[in-house]
Structure 1
């Protein structure tokens, strides 16, 4: 199959620093090539891939200092459009801009939705361009979307099994918090779990400018405790030991997480996950097998003892059965084949109702910020 992967231009594929979407695009691309498909990756020029690289910028736009990436993405889409006849499938990872430009090619297009979808500002596009086949990365991610959108599949993320190798023993014996310092990730809950359970917590996380005030006023005053260690942002190599030697990953989120890559990274290492039951969490964690699902702080604290007797081999088996790159790409190829076969539940045309304005409340929830919609999975 001749497949185009169209990546965001913010970061290289794979990213040199933080970039969840770009990492997933890399895993999809490399596994498709490994399975024998003819793949072209439209991405920044500093990307590294075994596929054919169509460089659309010299390097990732964030590193070049660009703040608004719209113009560069439109130029890339123009390039993809001119080459569309070269491909059986056009697989987009850039949210919205391709919808009008490729409306006449919905029979060979598919878009993976990588972020949160409860942003009212974007609803006019979803309600108007209902033909684009969409892939959600969890069933929960779909909930805010209008019924008119064209869901092709839900495909959970998967990563190469060797990225986070199996650690049969948690030599460090600490709780791990990995990711970003932000209110919705609730590092304060992780700190409370450590203090109440008496088990050390290591925090490997970056602080974005948008979250600096939260760090200064809420989290920084909480880390001055003998059980708490803040080690800052870590790279991919450091992540292996950090997750592999942890007793458990603390994932105490307080928002509708679309997926949560760090959960399957921990599971790959054999490290169970203590997670609050929000967003995609119940779809990813098998309660009592690969981690513990919690609805309260008391349950989270009690879970610290529960994971001590949990089989790390069992955690790894759960990962291998559902969340490898091979599993993920097998599902994408099946979605491509359904699309090319013209199955009616995959290809839809816009309805008249799609053009009627509709700006109601989304599940009664507060209006999220636009920046929140772009948060990587």
Structure 2
């Protein structure tokens, strides 16, 4: 199959540190290449892949101090995809839905995985305007606000089985890993660790739009908690894997409906259990008492820390292998591609009928 993967340009594929979407795109792309599909990746020039790389910008946009308007680069990326579309059977988009406006005019079929939060007031009008755009959700929870959209299936993220080493015995620290944003509640992670009487490592990226939140809300708390909190900043590569593998548990005290949470399955791949608030996609990922604990508040999270000896880290790893491998994820996407390709393309008559139905 001739497949194009269109990645967001904010980070390289794979990213050097933070960047969940770009990491997933990398895992999928490399597994498709391994299976002998003809794959082209549209991404930043500093990406590393065995697929054919079409470089759109010099480096990940968030790593380029000269870049101010990231939208212009994504529009250029879309122009490059449109230029090459007749070379593909299907184009798989992973970024913002800029392509919806011209998807019907491309010389191939398309599929879009939406990786972020979906809101009826924002996405609803777009999905009604473009009702035939085939969509994939990364969790069943993610699609609930716009459940009526053209969903093909849900595909949970997956990792290569050998991406993370299993660690049979964790150290004596808890871990908060990811992005420093209000909805992820790093302050609650600090409170949980304090009340549980355990050290905490905080490894999180501060995005430009969240610097004020970090400066005003989190940094003072880190300063006051230096006796038990080790702030690592943004980490990547081998260091990130080791910090995950040796953690006693990953804390995930979210205060929003997280669409997935890639760090959860990364932790499970190491055998590291997770303690996560019962929101969003968490019930689809966490098997309570097997690979971690689902809790509803700080009190329950502190109690879960005291129960970590009940989790068999080998069982946690087996849960990951059974449910969240890159091979399984790729199987799911190939089925989605085949389903889209088997659907008759829109005709002028069907487009006109849709326009009439929606009052256009």
**Residue of structure 2 equivalent to 1:56:** 56
- Structure 1 stretches of at least 4 aligned residues deviating more than 6 Å after TM superposition: none
RMSD across aligned positions (CA): 2.2
Pairing 1:203-352 to 2, within 5 Å after superposition: 203-223=202-222, 224-225=224-225, 226-342=227-343, 351-352=354-355
Question: C-alpha separation between the residues in 1 aligned to 2:51 and 2:280?
Answer: 33
Give the secondary structure class of the aligned counterpart of 2:3: strand
Give the secondary structure class of the aligned counterpart of 2:145: coil
Question: C-alpha separation between the residues in 2 aligned to 1:220 and 1:19?
Answer: 22
Distance 1:42 1:315, change over 3 A: same
1:199-218 per-position Cα deviation (integer Å, ceiling 9, x unaligned): 22111113333333333333
> Which deviates more from structure 2 when the two are superposed, residues 285-294 or residues 47-56?
47-56
1:80-139 per-position Cα deviation (integer Å, ceiling 9, x unaligned): 223222111111112211112122459721000011111624433222011110000011
**Residue of structure 2 equivalent to 1:116:** 117
1:167 aligns with 2:155: no
**Residue of structure 2 equivalent to 1:374:** none
Structure 1 residue 326, shift from structure 2 partner: 1.0
TM-score in terms of structure 1 length: 0.87
> Which deviates more from structure 2 when the two are superposed, residues 191-200 or residues 323-332?
191-200
TM-score in terms of structure 2 length: 0.91
1:329-368 per-position Cα deviation (integer Å, ceiling 9, x unaligned): 1100111111122289xxx9683487469xxxxxxxxxxx
Distance 1:230 1:10, change over 3 A: closer
**Residue of structure 2 equivalent to 1:38:** 38
Question: C-alpha separation between the residues in 2 aligned to 1:303 and 1:73?
Answer: 43
**Residue of structure 1 equivalent to 2:22:** 22
Check whether the contact 2:32–2:39 (CA below 8 A) recurs between aligned residues.
yes
Give the secondary structure class of the aligned counterpart of 1:351: helix
Gaps of 5+ in 2: none
Check whether the contact 2:93–2:111 (CA below 8 A) recurs between aligned residues.
yes
Question: C-alpha separation between the residues in 2 aligned to 1:198 and 1:113?
Answer: 39
- The size of the alignment, in residue pairs, is 352
> Which deviates more from structure 2 when the two are superposed, residues 303-312 or residues 114-123?
114-123
Question: C-alpha separation between the residues in 2 aligned to 1:91 and 1:101?
Answer: 14
Check whether the contact 1:160–1:324 (CA below 8 A) recurs between aligned residues.
yes
Structure with more of its chain in helix, by fraction:
2
**Residue of structure 2 equivalent to 1:67:** 68
**Residue of structure 2 equivalent to 1:368:** none
Question: C-alpha separation between the residues in 1 aligned to 2:344 and 2:290?
Answer: 36
> Which deviates more from structure 2 when the two are superposed, residues 303-312 or residues 118-127?
118-127
Q: Which has the higher contact order (CA 8 A, sep 6+)?
A: 1
**Residue of structure 2 equivalent to 1:200:** 199
Distance 1:353 1:285, change over 3 A: farther
